[in-house]
């Protein structure tokens, strides 16, 4: 089964929400899907996993792997791994991330790995999310939003993937902003990119994951993506 790195054109585009929906939809196919958020940052949660993203993903995938495996490094400030580690005087351990990733791939039939920010988010000097994707040997599903500016971000992301030799399997448009209509954006992406748009996701009331997963099941040929 194929595993994927879920990247975004930016922070806050819906990587966690869409990845959780994908995980739940894949679960419903009877597939044991593992999740990982290699580096997480932000406000530390009081209950459960430190990172809210990790909590959401683990709940959706219905797994109870240890936090150390799912999220090897957590930085309690909102910043890239590079910036956070520098400001907190902590090391960044890419090898630990890769070791844990390999461990998780033996424990599950497939993996969904959520990125941090965009694909050029720095992890170390001269080591970006793109480098991590290469080291994990994963194909990418790209989440984009609909606000004006997204075409620029999406083209840049696709260009950097090409530059790094990363295979982009598809784009998911997260229709969460005023800006481009779904139709306009899909047609622009078709004209400008050589990456297919897998589907557009509407704003989901109450961020309900079951509704999202049902939507994904209807719109995306998951079997084609996974097998
Ligand atoms: N289609 C949607 N419908 C409703 N709410 C959404 C949708 N997509 C995202 N959201 C909400 O928008 C917020 C940002 O989404 P999310 O946390 O998934 O972004 P992200 O790309 O994972 O951000 P980060 O870079 O911090 O990991 C969340 O509160 C999420 O629940
Ligand atoms: Mg997230």
pLDDT at 183: 95
pLDDT at 96: 98
**What are the CA-CA distances from residue 61 to residues 28, 110, 201 (Å)?**
10, 11, 19
Would you give per-residue pLDDT tens digits along the chain (227 residues)?
Answer: 999 999 999 999 999 999 999 999 999 999 999 999 999 999 999 999 999 999 999 999 999 999 999 999 999 999 999 999 999 999 999 999 999 999 999 999 999 999 999 999 999 999 999 999 999 999 999 999 999 999 999 999 999 999 999 999 999 999 999 999 999 999 999 999 999 999 999 999 999 999 999 999 999 999 999 99
> 81: CA distance to ligand 1 center in Å?
19
Give yes or no for a contact between 18 and 6, defined as CB atoms under 8 angstroms apart.
yes
In ligand 1, the atom with minimum distance to the C-alpha of 41 is 26
Task: Please give all residues whose beta carbon lies within 6 A of any atom in ligand 1, as ranges.
Answer: 8, 11-17, 53, 117, 174, 176, 201, 203-204, 207
> 17: CA distance to ligand 1 center in Å?
5
pLDDT at 105: 98
> 128: CA distance to ligand 1 center in Å?
22
From the CA of 121, which ligand is nearest? Answer: 1
CA gap 81, 138 in Å, rounded:
20
Give yes or no for a contact between 111 and 73, defined as CB atoms under 8 angstroms apart.
no
pLDDT at 175: 97
In ligand 1, the atom with minimum distance to the C-alpha of 201 is 1
Mutate to test the pocket of ligand 1, among 176, 182, 206 (most ligand atoms within 8 A of CB): 176
| Residue 200 CB partners (closer than 8 Å, separation 6+) | 172, 173, 174, 175, 182, 185, 186, 219
pLDDT at 94: 98
SS3 211: helix
Give yes or no for a contact between 168 and 195, defined as CB atoms under 8 angstroms apart.
yes
From the CA of 53, which ligand is nearest? Answer: 2
Give yes or no for a contact between 7 and 15, defined as CB atoms under 8 angstroms apart.
yes
pLDDT at 32: 98
> 43: CA distance to ligand 2 center in Å?
12
In ligand 1, the atom with minimum distance to the C-alpha of 37 is 27
pLDDT at 66: 97
Residues in the chain: 227
Percent of the chain that is helix, strand, coil (3-state, to 5): 45, 20, 35
CA gap 197, 6 in Å, rounded:
14
CA gap 217, 28 in Å, rounded:
9
SS3 4: strand
Q: Which residues have a catalytic role annotated?
A: 37
């Amino acid at each position: 089964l194929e595993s994927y790195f879920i990247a975004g054109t930016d922070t806050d585009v819906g990587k966690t929400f869409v990845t959780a929906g994908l995980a739940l939809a894949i679960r419903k196919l009877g597939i044991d899907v593992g999740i990982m958020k290699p580096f997480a940052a932000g406000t530390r949660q009081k209950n459960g996993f430190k990172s809210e993203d990790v909590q959401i993903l683990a709940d959706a995938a219905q797994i109870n792997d240890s936090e150390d495996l799912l999220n090897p490094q957590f930085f309690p400030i909102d910043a890239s791994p590079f910036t956070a580690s520098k400001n907190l005087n902590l090391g960044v351990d890419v090898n630990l991330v890769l070791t844990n990733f390999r461990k998780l791939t033996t424990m599950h039939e497939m993996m969904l790995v959520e990125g941090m920010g965009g694909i050029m988010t720095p992890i170390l000097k001269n080591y970006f999310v793109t480098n991590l994707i290469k080291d994990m040997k994963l194909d990418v599903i790209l989440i984009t939003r609909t606000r004006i500016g997204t075409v620029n971000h999406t083209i840049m992301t696709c260009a950097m993937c090409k530059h790094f030799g990363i295979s982009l399997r598809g784009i998911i448009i997260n229709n969460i902003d005023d800006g481009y209509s779904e139709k306009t954006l899909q047609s622009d992406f078709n004209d400008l990119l050589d990456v297919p748009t897998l589907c557009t996701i509407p704003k989901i009331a109450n961020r309900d994951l079951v509704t999202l997963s049902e939507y994904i099941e209807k719109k995306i040929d998951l079997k084609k993506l996974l097998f």
